[in-house]
Each structure stands twice: as structure tokens, then as C-alpha cells.
Structure 1
């Protein structure tokens, strides 16, 4: 039986991906800073091959301790998905340095900490004849900038860069790496954000589209099980990313026009 570890596994994308893994007969260890007991209890109604551990991805020593417990429970992982993350939708001017750093520390440094703490176990997996895979959940906001997301975009651009380097460095060690860059997904974090978010941010985000959680996670899961490095679970978001990369001046010109229209509408 294969084993998967999922950080941020008590809610949102991490929880939904855990359900797919259990359906595919994986043993799954989920890790999160809160909600672990309830999530495990709910998942155990469908499968007994689940356990959970409380972690803070900002603290590598805690990750070391809990990953060791996970190995004792189910063995080394065939698959590690780092889905832990936060988003704070505020303009650069309104965002405090503490809020900015919190996103960097959880989204980017947290991704580094998870990968680093898990690396010895991923290497053990290769020694056991497995083909382990490390998956970092980034965002379409790690490929193109979005108004009102200074901290979030900065952190997710960093996650994409981290994944690019890990893909190269871990290749010789037979450890696969993938990065997921979804557009907006209907998660509790997004629903909460809309209560106080900027209408400019909301309008611009629709350029990449919005996906229901189940649809997005089905596409993400299929991507993870493929040989893709960059997984973008939306045709609309893939087009946006490709245009920004291949025709950056055209892309920015269109964004500026869209911004001007939104500003004029809000001012009227």
C-alpha cells in the first residue's frame, strides 16, 4: 500500500486531495496547525488508513518530530503534498510588515521547511525502490501578479522558483517534483476573503477564472498522478499564464486597460 503525506490536510485543497488519495487506497498522514482531530474523525468514517499530526510549517523542528511519528505509523512517503498556506488580500500600502512576513513565512519558508524535513524520508523511499514525489501547492498568483496581493504573490512566486530548483537538484536522486498553480478556488479562505476584499482584486481575478473545489481538486489530482511538472487546473488560467510569459507587453497592456475600466466604473 502506498503512503501519502498532506500538509494543510484538515481543510480546503489539502482535505479534498486527501479524500482522493484514500479512495485510491493510499495510507494518508495529514498535517495542519488546527482542525486535525475533527478532520481525521470525519475521514475515518470512510477509511481507517488515516492519521493526523499537528504542525506549524514555520517550525522545522516540529516538522522533524511529527514526520518521524508519521514514518512510525505508515512508513516513508511515496507522495508528499504541501498544501499549507494563507492569503491576505490587502494592498501594499494597507498591509503591515507583520502580515507580509506571515505570508512569506508560511507559504514560502514553510514550503522550504516541509521539503527539507521530508527529504531524508523521500531519499529512504528511493532506497526502498519507490519513486517518491514532492508536490508544492503554489498559485496562478505565483505566475502572474494580481492587484491587492503583494504578500501572497511574492510568496507564491517564490514557491514556483523553489519548485523549479528542487526539480533540477532532486532529479539525480530519483525524487520527482511538481508545482500546482491553480486560479481562484472556492475554499473557506477565498469565501472569507470576499467579505472584505477589494472589488478591483475580485474583478481582475476573473481573468484567470474561478473553480469549484471538487472540480479543481479532481484536475489537480490527475495532474499529480501524471508526469507534469507545472499543473494548472484550468484552461482559462493556462491561457493567461502562457500569454503573460510569451507576450508580456501585450499582457500588461491588457491588464492596464482592464484596471482603467474598473477604476472608472468605481469612480462613477
Structure 2
């Protein structure tokens, strides 16, 4: 541990958005602990080419006692966190009718309850960072699917709407503790999770998702990274998604009417093909 270096913890740090944010933090001279369910060893090998100030821990965000143990190890390695990014999550793109209760609950448990568990287990250490005279920050990675509903995403949308609600309340509750909170709502980002989903996903879902746009992981993560170091609470990468979100909030009935027209057109084209 180097006392002059800030420390970041990132769950879901072995791939996708979490991995890309880790790379940027290491380049900016952070010490970084990544936590993930799988892929730790390979990610650490890649990341150590950028900086030796990185370590990894295998976790399950559904198990808070495991998080307690691993976070304690992380503190022993690099000290308490200045920045906590919860990027762990899964997506199962199926219709409500086709999705089993187990699949629905798995998304809720990992994306929403997991976010709660990560924040709750890290909170004592974030308070220690405050006692050391610093202002730590919790960043939740939610989704555009937490801002507007998307066809074929009942479990995912429900979980990500919940993550935004969790972040909203923590922003208020932790304000007096001098702990900042932000939530990131990206559009579709070209990550391994999305690549896998495209193999069997609904063409209706794919078409509707384009209303919010799709971003390469590097561009999305640069916007996310820049946003983390501002006072913004809600970070929305991509101009297209920012416009869509504003329309959905300012004129929700018009927004839904346009979505319905788009949906009907897509479904009619699929029936005709």
C-alpha cells in the first residue's frame, strides 16, 4: 500500500465496463482491487501490464458474509476505498412468459440485492475513509433499462429500476456521512454480456434498444469515467440516450405513444417476413 495513492474497489472488475474503468483508474495512478465471480486471474494478468498496483478477489455479491471477508482482505492490501464502483450484474433477455421465476429472481438477486450487499458491506470502510479526511464515493452501474422499460427485459428492467431507487435514497442518507453517491445509466454497450445476449435475443428487443443507441465500450467508459469525477448524480453516456430520457420524463405520454408505434411496426414486419 502506498499512502499517496487513492484506492478504488470495483465489483464486476474482470470484464466489460468494470474492466475498462479499472484500466483508466490504474493509468491515473489509483490502487485498484477488483472483485468478480469469475475471470479474476486472467484480468489481473492483463491489468498488471499497466500497473502493479492491482489485486483481485473472487466474490459472490449475493453472499454478504463473503463480501465482508474479501473487503477486509482488500483493506489489508491497499487500505480503505476512496471509490467504490459496483459493476457486477447479469442480463437475461427473455419475454415475461418465457422467463422462469428462478431466472427473474437471479437478476433481482445479483443486480439489485447484490448492489445493496456491496454497499452495505463496504460502508464501514467508506466511513473510515471519511475519518481519514477524504470524501469517498459509491458509484452504481445501472442501465438505460432502469430509466425506460424495454421489451424482453422484465427481470433486468425491474432490477435496474431498483438500483436507481437504491442509489437515490443512499444519496440522501449518506450525505450527512460525507459519502457521495452516483448512478450510471448507459445504453447498450458492446461488452461480452451483450455479445452473448445477441446470439439468442429477440429481434424486437434489438430494434427497440437502438432508440437509445449503442456505444463501443471504450467510448462509453470514457464518458462514464469523466462523469464519476464530477458532482453529477445520474451519469448517462451518449447524447442519443440523454435525449430519449428527457423526452420520456418531460412528455411521457408522447414517448409511450411513439414506442407503441415503433413496436407495432417491428412486429408487423416480423409477421410479414
* TM-score band, normalised by shorter chain: over 0.9
Measured in 1, the distance between the counterparts of 2:242 and 2:31 equals: 32
Cα distance, 1:133 vs. partner? 0.2
1:172-200 deviation per Cα after TM superposition (whole angstroms, max 9, x unaligned): 00000000000000000101111110000
- Identify the range of structure 1 (173-182 vs 33-42) with the bigger mean alpha-carbon deviation: 33-42
Question: Does the residue aligned with 1:93 lie in a helix, a strand or coil?
Answer: coil
Cα distance, 1:85 vs. partner? 0.1
The counterpart of 1:68, out of the listed 39, 50, 72, is 72
Q: Which residue of 1 aligns with 2:256?
A: 252
Measured in 2, the distance between the counterparts of 1:122 and 1:85 equals: 22
Cα distance, 1:223 vs. partner? 0.3
Measured in 2, the distance between the counterparts of 1:46 and 1:262 equals: 45
Measured in 1, the distance between the counterparts of 2:159 and 2:250 equals: 23
The counterpart of 1:211, out of the listed 211, 215, 232, is 215
Question: Does the residue aligned with 1:157 lie in a helix, a strand or coil?
Answer: helix
Measured in 2, the distance between the counterparts of 1:240 and 1:154 equals: 19
Question: Does the residue aligned with 2:10 lie in a helix, a strand or coil?
Answer: strand
Q: 2:60 aligned with 1:56, yes or no? A: yes
The counterpart of 2:128, out of the listed 121, 124, 128, is 124
Q: Which residue of 2 aligns with 1:193?
A: 197
TM-score, structure 2 normalization: 0.98
Alignment of 1:26-105 (within 5 A): 26-105=30-109
Q: 2:228 aligned with 1:224, yes or no? A: yes
Q: Which residue of 2 aligns with 1:168?
A: 172
Q: Which residue of 1 aligns with 2:181?
A: 177
Q: Which residue of 2 aligns with 1:134?
A: 138
How many residues matched? 268
Question: Does the residue aligned with 1:92 lie in a helix, a strand or coil?
Answer: coil
Measured in 2, the distance between the counterparts of 1:167 and 1:46 equals: 33
Measured in 2, the distance between the counterparts of 1:229 and 1:122 equals: 18
Q: 2:16 aligned with 1:12, yes or no? A: yes
1:118-162 deviation per Cα after TM superposition (whole angstroms, max 9, x unaligned): 000000100000110000000000000000000000000000000
Question: Does the residue aligned with 1:250 lie in a helix, a strand or coil?
Answer: helix
Measured in 2, the distance between the counterparts of 1:181 and 1:152 equals: 13
Q: Which residue of 2 aligns with 1:146?
A: 150
Cα distance, 1:41 vs. partner? 1.3
Cα distance, 1:37 vs. partner? 1.0
TM-score, structure 1 normalization: 1.00
Q: Which stretches of structure 1, 4 residues or more, deviate above 6 A after TM superposition?
A: none
5+ unaligned residues in a row in structure 2: which ranges? none
Cα distance, 1:46 vs. partner? 1.5
Question: Does the residue aligned with 1:204 lie in a helix, a strand or coil?
Answer: helix
Measured in 1, the distance between the counterparts of 2:222 and 2:88 equals: 18
The counterpart of 2:269, out of the listed 262, 265, 268, is 265
1:206-255 deviation per Cα after TM superposition (whole angstroms, max 9, x unaligned): 00000000000000000001111000001110111111111110000000
